[in-house]
């Protein structure tokens, strides 16, 4: 409540740290909570320990960080040691592989400065969601909560939650990492973001908040310039504002992008919107 109302925030954070408090299961997404560990994976990789950025200099060994990235990419909970070893030490076997895993895990724990952040049980490793905040996890929770609110007819709440999710998505999941295990969650999160953008834009349109809808769809197209549905919605928003030239410009960009990347024309639905403007799109 103090965080929500902005009352003595720094003092409350100090009380939380001093008493080693963790947020309750009903409040896993408190943005101002002083999480012992925060991990950023969307658009960049970043690590905060006790709210201080971890410097990624030469002194920081890369294998412990690779272990953390792989763990999150594989879901972050109950990931088998064997799967992690296979990814990070493919040429090691037997005792050497197990020893390499133990050393990296020990170093990662020291790096995070929190023994409770990583839980190894019966050969399976988990990142504690009571000690660690991960942007990708928060993003997916906000999307789920927003969709539930939308289906329940709570439009204002849905908009708030979709906006929170959208603000967390800074780019592809671990986009600079070449580890194979990152490909599937990267695509899943990207698809979730585009779906959220479409839902949020629709909520804005229903309230005739055209400027916000335009901004929303534009952000989605920046993330995926082949998302033809978003081009259509963006054109319609411009049309509703009487901005014919802007709508035609969006169509031309859509057609050029689809042609150069996929070798195809826009769909009949998209062409029909352009034709409705009463001009021949050049």
Asked if domains 2-133 and 134-275 share a fold, the reply is no
By the 10 Å C-beta count (0-12 exposed, 13-18 middle, 19+ buried), 272 is classed as exposed
pLDDT for res 27: 66
What's the pTM value of the predicted model, to 2 decimals? 0.87
pLDDT at 28 (0 to 100): 57
Q: Which residue has the tokens 């229903």?
A: 206
Which residues of the chain fall below pLDDT 50?
280
Q: Which CATH number fits domain 2-133: 3.40.50.11540, 1.10.10.10, 3.80.30.20, 3.40.50.150?
A: 1.10.10.10
pLDDT (0 to 100) of residue 136: 95
Domain over 134-275 is classified CATH 1.25.40.10? yes
Question: What pLDDT, on a 0 to 100 scale, did the predictor assign at position 94?
Answer: 80
- The 3-state DSSP class for residue 127 equals strand
DSSP 249: H
Whether the CB-CB separation of 207 and 158 falls below 8 Å is answered with no
Q: Where are the domains of the chain?
A: 2-133, 134-275
Q: How far apart are CA 54 and CA 202, in angstroms?
A: 39
């Amino acid at each position: 409540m103090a965080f929500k109302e902005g009352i003595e925030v720094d003092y409350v954070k100090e009380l939380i740290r001093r008493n080693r408090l963790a947020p309750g299961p009903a409040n896993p997404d408190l943005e101002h909570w002083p999480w012992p560990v925060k991990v950023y994976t969307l658009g960049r990789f970043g690590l905060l320990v006790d709210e201080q950025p971890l410097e990624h200099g030469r002194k920081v060994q890369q294998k412990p960080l690779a272990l953390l990235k792989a763990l999150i990419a594989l879901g972050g909970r109950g990931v088998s040691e064997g799967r992690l070893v296979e990814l990070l030490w493919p040429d090691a076997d037997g005792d050497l592989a197990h020893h390499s895993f133990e050393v990296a895990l020990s170093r990662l724990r020291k790096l995070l400065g929190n023994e409770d952040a990583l839980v190894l049980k019966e050969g399976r490793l988990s990142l504690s969601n009571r000690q660690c905040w991960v942007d990708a996890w928060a993003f997916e929770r906000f999307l789920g909560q927003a969709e539930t609110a939308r289906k329940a007819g709570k439009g204002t709440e849905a908009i708030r939650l979709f906006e929170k999710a959208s603000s967390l998505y800074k780019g592809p999941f671990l986009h600079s990492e070449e580890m194979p295990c990152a490909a599937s969650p990267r695509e899943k999160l990207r698809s979730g973001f585009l779906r959220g953008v479409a839902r949020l834009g629709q909520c804005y349109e229903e309230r005739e908040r055209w400027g916000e809808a335009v901004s929303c769809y534009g952000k989605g197209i920046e993330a995926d310039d082949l998302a033809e549905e978003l081009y259509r919605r963006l054109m319609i928003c411009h049309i509703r504002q009487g901005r014919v030239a802007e709508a035609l410009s969006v169509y031309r960009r859509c057609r050029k992008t689809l042609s150069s990347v996929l070798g195809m024309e826009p769909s009949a639905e998209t062409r029909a919107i352009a034709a409705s403007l009463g001009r021949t799109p050049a």
